[in-house]
Amino acid sequence: MCIIVIREGGNVMNRLQALRTEKGINMKEAAQALSMPYTTYVNYEKGTREPSSEVLIKLAKFYDTSIDYLVGKVERVAPIPAGFQPLPKRDRIPRVGQIACGTPILAEENVEAYDEVPSDWHANFTLLCQGDSMEPKIKDGDVVAIHSQPMVENGEVAAVLIDGEATLKRVFLFDDHIELRAENPTFPTILRIGEDMNTITIEGKAVGLCRKL
């Protein structure tokens, strides 16, 4: 969840002052609304008098906050502004670079960096897209998240290994051949027939991408 933490100090005096200012009232108005003597309220804000538990409950209700916040045990979490959504839970996963022949794709020597992606993508690793073979869907510089799986449905974008190099292509698997098609029609389809199909390994399905604005 995306939270906005507001820090105004760690005691009742500082926090009452901040809350009252946000409410747009003076100390006399606050005392009247709380049905307490003006001098009593002033002493609470000045820190010369500690409020009882009953008064803390009253203050917390009046300022729409918690007692723990008033006494400095927790910070205040402001509501997310209208028009924004909280960030989803995220996972930190490895970004894979050049792949050595015969080395598992997630081997330590293949990890170049780490990326954070939404957890509900169920991604296991990311790839940095280089070139424009998958444009306009995937652009040069996009970081594509991959869910590890040995097969994909025909037409899905997948990370595949060809001669030890990871690439992104649309996969079309047939009984006697496999086609790896680029999104960009100017790029030729990669075709492997018969036993040559074994030179291609599907490493996983593309489930999301991160792009700089």
pLDDT digits (tens, 9 = 90+) for 172-213: 999 999 999 999 999 999 999 999 998 899 999 999 998 877
**51-55, 85-89, 122-126, 160-164: which is most confident:** 122-126
188 class by beta-carbon count within 10 Å (0-12 exposed, 13-18 middle, 19+ buried): exposed
Residue 51 pLDDT class (50, 70, 90 cuts): confident
C-alpha span between 71 and 40 (Å, rounded): 18
Burial profile 35-67: b = 16 or more Cβ within 10 angstroms, e = fewer? ebeeeebeebbeeebebeeebbeebbeebeeee
Share of the chain above pLDDT 70, in %: 85
Domain positions in the chain are 4-78, 92-210
Q: Which of 35, 89, 133, 205 is catalytic?
A: 133
Which residues, 6+ apart, have CB-to-CB distance to 23 below 8 Å?
A: 30, 63
Q: Which fold has domain 4-78?
A: 434 Repressor (Amino-terminal Domain) (1.10.260)
Secondary structure class of 207 (helix, strand, coil) = strand
Identify whether 52 is a catalytic site residue.
Answer: no
Total-model pTM: 0.60
Identify whether 73 is a catalytic site residue.
Answer: no
Residue 15 pLDDT class (50, 70, 90 cuts): confident
Kindly report the CATH number that applies to the domain delimited by 92-210: 2.10.109.10
Q: Which of 119, 169, 205, 212 is catalytic?
A: 169
